[in-house]
Amino acid sequence: MDNNTVRIHDKQFKIFITKEEIRSRINEMGWEVSKKYKDLKPVFVPILNGSFMFAADFVRACSFDSDMMFVKIKSYDGMSSTGNINLELGFSGKIKDRHVVIIEDIIDTGNTLVEFIKETEKLNPASITVVSLLLKPDAVKHDIPMDYIGYRIPNAFVVGYGLDYDDLGRTLPDIYQLDE
Ligand code: IMP
């Protein structure tokens, strides 16, 4: 094994997106989002756990007034989406008439987001948009607002930069892809 591969549980992963590439793409995304939201004082809503690292870097690339509310959803088991959305931690404050910017690490089937957006809409926000570092276009099953996407990636499992494989791999600074 070298620096370009890691072993997690029973699987081997190879380097896919480096931390330098991630940093530069996030700066571009921050710039894009700033153009629309800089005067709207949006509320950033990172979906835990996976998006914590991306959210921390992304909000620092957005230098305008905003606040944050974290929510926690569990929908994954091992390497597959369970399709069941379990909101383990909900909004901690008022969403009505606010511009909500949901922060996701990755959109796979889109099941998590579509359900979460439905829940959010019930609270009558002024608008809802989604920022996701990664998107698997071939896996998405729903029509989701996808205005701000970092990378469109193939349908292979990835870990690192907040993303885990059965609770391991989250703290890796780069993103790795399953090496099959
Ligand atoms: P979805 O509901 O199928 O879109 O899955 C969304 C959630 O599943 C993400 O927020 C991740 O937490 C997790 N997930 C989806 N694909 C991957 C992956 O390739 N690696 C790690 N976690 C993933």
115-131 pLDDT, tens per residue? 899 989 999 999 999 99
> Nearest CA to 112 among 73, 153, 77, 162?
73
Reduced to 3 states (helix: H, G, I; strand: E, B; else coil), residue 17 is strand
Say if CB 156 and CB 139 are below 8 A apart.
no
- 89 domain-assigned: yes
- 158 domain-assigned: no
Least confident of 3-7, 51-55, 57-61, 132-136: 3-7
Spatial CB neighbours of 150, under 8 Å, sequence gap ≥ 6: 22, 25, 26, 29, 132, 133, 134
- 173 domain-assigned: no
Considering its fold, how many domains does the chain have in total? 1
Say if CB 13 and CB 167 are below 8 A apart.
no
Q: 147-152 — which CB contacts under 8 Å span 24+ positions?
A: 148/29, 148/32, 148/33, 149/107, 150/22, 150/25, 150/26, 150/29, 151/17, 151/25
Mean pLDDT of the chain: 92
pLDDT at residue 102, rounded to an integer: 97
The boundaries of the domain holding residue 123 are 20-153
What is the percentage of the chain residues whose pLDDT exceeds 70?
93
- 179 domain-assigned: no
Measure the CA–CA gap between 137 and 26, rounded to whole angstroms: 19
List pocket residues of ligand 1, CB cut-off 6 Å: 50, 75-76, 81, 104-112, 157-159, 163
Atom of ligand 1 nearest to the CA of 111: 2
Residue to probe by mutation, ligand 1, list 54, 74, 81, most atoms within 8 Å of CB? 81
User: At residue 76, does pLDDT exceed 70?
Assistant: no
Tokens of 66: 């905003």
- 164 domain-assigned: no
- 167 domain-assigned: no
- Average pLDDT on 98-116 reads 94
User: At residue 78, does pLDDT exceed 70?
Assistant: no
- 121 domain-assigned: yes
- Average pLDDT on 105-124 reads 93
Q: How far, in Å, is the centroid of ligand 1 from the Cα of 25?
A: 20
- 33 domain-assigned: yes
Q: What is the CATH number of the domain that holds 131?
A: 3.40.50.2020
- 139-166 pLDDT, tens per residue? 999 998 888 999 999 999 999 999 999 9
Query: What is the pTM assigned to this prediction?
Result: 0.93
Catalytic residue ranges:
108
